[in-house]
C-alpha cells in the first residue's frame, strides 16, 4: 500500500549516476512504513516511477517532515516540478537480481540474464552497492567470451544509436580507441582531424578519465565543448566528418556510463568489462571499422605479450560477432607518450603537433601517424602501406590543423580555456645517469594528486624521457597545481618515489616500439 503523499524537494546534491531520496527521521512515513537508511524505495508521480536509495536525515534544512528530498539525478529522472505530490513505497527487487546473485557466486550468465541485468542497470534500479558487487564479481571470476559478447549487445540495446545512412554511401565509418593506462597518450585528438581531413567519417566519443589523470574528453574540453546532446553530435559529424565528444550526454550505451561511475572509485577495469564498454560505445556511434591501440609495458594495463594477445583475440571475437571490422595494434607502453600529463598539458602537446611546432613531442606525433595511417587504409581507394604517407602529408600541409579548428568551432570553442596551474615544483634527479624506465602508474598517481583531471591545469610536465642522460640535480619533471594542498600531496609522493629509474647506458636498452599485431 502506498504511503500518504509527500511534497518533492530538490536537494542540490550530485550523487553521480545514482538516484537518492531523503526523508526526515520524524516523517510519519518513516515510522509507519519502517523505512531505514539505505533501503530502496519506489517514488511515484504522474504515472512515472523511479527507484531510489533512501537516506534518513535529522536536519530540517535539508527536508522537512512532510517532504521527500531528491538528489539531482533522481529529480531529473522523475521529471516533475519541485513541490509536486509524490508517493513513496518499498521498492521491489530488480527482476534481474537473481542473475546478479548467481554472478556473485561465480556462475556463468546467458544472453537473457545479461540483457535483463543491463536493462535494470540502465533504468537505475540498482544501487551503487549492488553495482559494485557486479563489477567486483565480473572482475574476480571473469566473463567468458560469450558473456562479453552478450554484455556488449545488451549495452548497445539500452541506448540510442547513430545511423549515418546515405552520408557514407557504403563507405567505412571509422574510429580509434586506446585501452588506456599510458599517461599523455592523446593520439585520438590527432587521428580524428587527420582522417576526417582525408574525407572519412569519424564520430569519436570518449569517456572521461576513469583511473587516469586525463581522458580524451577531459583534454578536448580544454579547447571546446564536449557535452553534446545526441542531435547536436550527429549534426557536427555531418558538418565536419567528425567530432571529439564525451559520450555521456549522447545517451550512447548509458548502462556503461553507470558502470563506469562505480569502476572509477574502485579503480577496476576488468578485461570483459573493458571490451564491452569500448565496443558498445563504438557500435552505438555507428562505427563500422575500428583501430584499437593496446599498449604493453611493465607499468601499463597490459604487462606481457601473452596478455596482449589474449585481449586482442577477445576484442576480435566480440567485434566479429557484431560485424565491426577491427585492426588491433599492440604498441609500446613502456613510458608516457608526449610531454604533458593532465588536460591542459596534453592539449598543449596536441596543438604543438598539429601546428608542426619544433617543440612538439616526437613520440606522440609518430604514434598518431601510425594509427591514422592504419585508419586511412580502411578506405577502399587507398593501397595497403600508403596510409602513413597520406597521414603525414595531411599533418605537414596544415590540413589537419584546419580540420581541428573546424571541429572546435562546430562543438563550441572555449572562449576562456583553463590555464596551466601556476603553483609548480620540480622533481630532481638524485644522481646522474641514463633514464632506464618511467613508471606509468606512479606518474599518473602523482598527476592525479596534483589535481588532474578535476583541475584541468594540474599535472606533470615531463622534461626527460627513457634513454635521456641526466646530471645529478637536473629536473626530471615539473609539477603543476592550482592549490597548495594538491601540490604538497603530489610533491610528497614524488619525493618518496619519483617514478624514474636511472642507471648507466648499458644497464638496459631503450625500449622500442612493440611489434604491431
Give the pLDDT score at 257. 87
- Determine the angle formed by the axes of helices 305-321 and 145-157, rounding to 10 degrees: 50
Q: Give the separation between CA 416 and CA 224, rounded to whole angstroms.
A: 10
Helix (H/G/I), strand (E/B), else coil: 330: strand
> What domains are defined for the chain?
6-90 (2.40.40.20), 97-142 (no CATH), 165-252+281-411 (3.40.1030.10), 423-507 (3.90.1170.30)
Q: Report the length, in residues, of the chain.
A: 517
Helix or strand run (H / E) with residue 277 = helix 271-284
User: Are the C-beta atoms of 462 and 477 separated by less than 8 Å?
Assistant: yes
Active site residues: 269
Q: Give the separation between CA 64 and CA 370, rounded to whole angstroms.
A: 61
Q: Give the separation between CA 322 and CA 452, rounded to whole angstroms.
A: 36
Q: Give the separation between CA 415 and CA 307, rounded to whole angstroms.
A: 44
Q: Give the separation between CA 418 and CA 348, rounded to whole angstroms.
A: 12
332, β-bridge pairs: 296
Q: Give the separation between CA 397 and CA 218, rounded to whole angstroms.
A: 28
DSSP 156-216: HHTS-----GGGSTT--BEEEEE---STT--THHHHHHHHHHTT-BEEEEEPPPSSSS--H
User: Are the C-beta atoms of 456 and 218 separated by less than 8 Å?
Assistant: yes
Beta strands per DSSP E along 303-382: 325-332, 340-341
The whole-number mean pLDDT for each consecutive block of 10 residues of the chain, a chain of 517 residues, reads 81 93 91 86 95 95 94 96 94 96 97 98 94 95 96 96 72 93 96 98 88 93 95 94 88 88 84 94 95 97 96 98 98 98 98 98 98 97 96 98 98 96 98 97 98 97 98 98 98 98 70 43
User: Are the C-beta atoms of 313 and 200 separated by less than 8 Å?
Assistant: no
Give the pLDDT score at 208. 83
506, β-bridge pairs: none
Q: Give the separation between CA 190 and CA 464, rounded to whole angstroms.
A: 23
Amino acid at each position: 500500500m502506498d504511503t500518504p503523499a509527500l511534497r518533492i524537494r530538490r536537494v542540490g546534491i550530485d550523487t553521480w549516476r545514482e538516484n537518492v531520496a531523503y526523508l526526515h527521521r520524524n516523517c510519519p512515513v518513516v515510522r509507519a512504513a519502517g523505512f531505514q537508511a539505505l533501503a530502496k524505495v519506489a517514488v511515484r508521480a504522474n504515472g512515472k516511477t523511479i527507484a531510489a536509495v533512501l537516506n534518513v536525515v535529522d536536519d530540517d534544512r535539508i527536508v522537512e517532515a512532510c517532504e521527500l528530498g531528491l538528489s539531482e539525478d533522481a529529480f531529473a529522472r522523475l521529471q516533475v516540478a519541485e513541490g509536486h505530490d509524490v508517493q513513496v513505497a518499498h521498492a521491489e527487487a530488480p527482476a534481474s537480481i537473481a542473475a546478479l546473485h548467481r554472478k556473485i557466486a561465480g556462475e556463468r550468465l546467458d544472453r537473457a540474464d545479461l540483457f535483463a541485468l543491463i536493462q535494470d542497470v540502465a533504468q537505475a534500479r540498482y544501487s551503487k552497492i549492488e553495482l559494485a558487487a557486479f563489477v567486483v564479481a565480473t572482475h574476480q571470476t571473469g566473463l567468458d567470451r560469450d558473456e562479453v559478447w552478450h554484455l556488449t549487445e545488451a549495452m548497445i540495446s539500452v541506448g540510442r544509436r547513430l545511423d549515418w545512412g546515405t552520408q557514407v554511401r557504403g563507405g567505412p565509418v571509422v574510429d580509434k580507441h586506446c585501452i588506456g593506462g599510458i599517461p599523455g597518450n592523446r593520439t585520438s585528438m590527432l587521428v580524428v582531424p587527420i582522417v576526417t581531413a582525408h574525407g572519412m567519417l569519424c564520430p569519436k566519443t570518449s569517456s572521461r578519465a576513469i583511473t587516469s589523470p586525463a581522458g580524451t574528453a577531459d583534454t578536448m574540453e580544454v579547447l571546446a565543448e564536449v557535452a553534446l546532446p545526441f542531435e547536436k553530435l550527429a549534426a557536427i559529424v555531418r558538418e565536419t566528418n567528425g567530432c571529439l565528444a564525451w559520450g555521456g550526454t549522447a545517451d550512447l550505451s548509458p548502462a556503461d556510463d553507470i558502470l563506469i561511475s562505480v569502476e572509477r572509485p574502485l579503480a577496476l577495469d576488468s578485461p570483459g568489462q573493458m571490451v564491452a564498454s569500448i565496443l558498445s560505445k563504438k557500435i552505438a556511434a555507428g562505427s563500422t571499422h575500428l583501430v584499437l591501440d593496446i599498449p604493453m609495458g611493465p607499468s601499463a594495463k597490459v604487462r606481457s605479450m601473452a596478455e596482449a594477445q589474449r585481449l586482442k583475440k577477445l576484442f576480435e571475437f566480440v567485434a566479429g560477432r557484431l560485424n565491426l571490422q577491427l585492426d588491433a595494434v599492440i604498441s609500446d607502453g613502456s613510458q608516457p607518450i608526449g610531454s604533458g600529463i593532465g588536460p591542459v598539458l596534453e592539449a598543449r602537446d596536441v596543438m604543438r603537433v598539429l601546428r608542426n611546432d619544433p617543440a612538439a613531442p616526437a613520440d606522440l606525433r609518430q604514434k598518431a601517424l601510425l594509427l591514422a595511417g592504419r585508419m586511412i587504409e580502411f578506405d577502399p581507394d587507398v593501397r595497403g602501406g600508403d596510409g602513413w604517407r597520406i597521414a603525414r602529408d595531411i599533418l605537414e600541409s596544415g590540413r589537419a590543423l584546419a580540420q581541428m579548428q573546424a571541429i572546435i568551432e562546430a562543438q563550441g570553442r572555449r572562449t576562456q580555456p583553463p590555464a596551466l596551474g601556476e603553483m609548480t615544483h620540480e622533481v630532481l634527479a638524485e644522481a646522474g645517469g641514463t633514464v632506464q624506465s618511467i613508471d606509468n602508474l606512479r606518474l599518473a598517481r602523482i598527476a592525479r594528486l596534483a589535481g588532474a583531471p578535476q583541475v584541468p591545469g594540474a599535472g606533470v610536465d615531463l622534461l626527460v624521457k627513457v634513454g635521456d642522460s641526466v646530471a645529478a640535480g637536473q629536473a626530471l619533471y615539473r609539477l603543476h597545481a592550482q592549490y597548495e594542498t594538491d601540490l604538497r600531496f603530489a610533491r610528497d609522493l614524488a619525493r618518496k618515489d619519483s617514478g624514474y629509474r636511472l642507471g648507466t647506458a648499458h644497464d638496459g636498452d631503450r625500449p622500442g616500439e612493440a611489434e604491431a599485431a
